[in-house]
């Protein structure tokens, strides 16, 4: 029997409960259904955030193999995930006019900014992450770049594929680490 570490909110004052939980024969790296805020141990033995069990139950989600998805499918979900991350950052900066929020958001999600960010992140990518990024970058898309060069557009597609891959793999800590590092390197946190 495989045991996995977990942490979850107890509901009282935001405290966390932790311990080991039987994974019912699941291999290390799979999520364990242990409450609203799931932590799991990945195949390297590192603890990482996973999608909440309630989220999976409500939407009837099943386990997926992100490696089996096309790079453009990964970019499709990655685009949305990155957008939510950026909007969360923008809203967290305080109440302001929605038009100002949109302007700030658009500056960070446009292809040029994503391309710049992933180029600065490339030395920090694992071999697996670099492979996913390059698959996305080299994918042939039916849509064309509207307000970016073809090179920036394809590079941004690679970044979005990587974001989608990490999200579907439930490597949320790594996703947050890379996006945070990228935003820092393009000077986003210097604006405050």
Q: Catalytic: 152?
A: no
Residues in the chain, total: 192
Q: Facing residues of 3 across strands?
A: 22
29 and 37 Cβ atoms separated by less than 8 Å: no
Among 182, 189, 154, residue whose Cα is nearest residue 166: 182
Q: Facing residues of 20 across strands?
A: 5
136 and 71 Cβ atoms separated by less than 8 Å: yes
75 and 136 Cβ atoms separated by less than 8 Å: yes
51 and 31 Cβ atoms separated by less than 8 Å: yes
CB under 8 Å to 62, separation ≥6 — which residues? none
Catalytic, out of 33, 42, 79, 173? 79
Catalytic residues: 79
């Amino acid at each position: 029997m495989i045991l996995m570490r977990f942490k979850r909110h107890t509901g009282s004052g935001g405290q966390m409960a932790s311990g080991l939980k039987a994974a019912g024969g699941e291999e290390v790296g799979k999520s364990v259904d242990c409450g609203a805020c799931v932590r799991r141990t990945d195949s390297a033995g590192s603890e990482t955030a996973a999608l909440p069990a309630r989220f999976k139950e409500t939407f009837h989600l099943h386990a997926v193999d992100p490696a089996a998805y096309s790079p453009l499918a990964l970019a499709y979900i990655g685009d949305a995930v990155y957008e939510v991350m950026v909007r969360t950052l923008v809203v967290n900066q305080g109440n302001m006019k929605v038009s100002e929020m949109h302007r700030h958001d658009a500056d960070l999600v446009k292809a040029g900014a994503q391309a710049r960010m992933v180029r600065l992140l490339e030395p920090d990518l694992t071999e697996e992450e670099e492979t996913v990024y390059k698959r996305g970058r080299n994918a042939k898309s039916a849509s064309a770049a509207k307000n970016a060069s073809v090179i920036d557009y394809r590079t941004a597609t690679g970044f979005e594929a990587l974001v989608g891959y990490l999200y579907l793999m439930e490597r949320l800590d790594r996703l947050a680490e890379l996006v945070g590092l990228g935003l820092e390197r393009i000077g986003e946190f210097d604006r405050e």
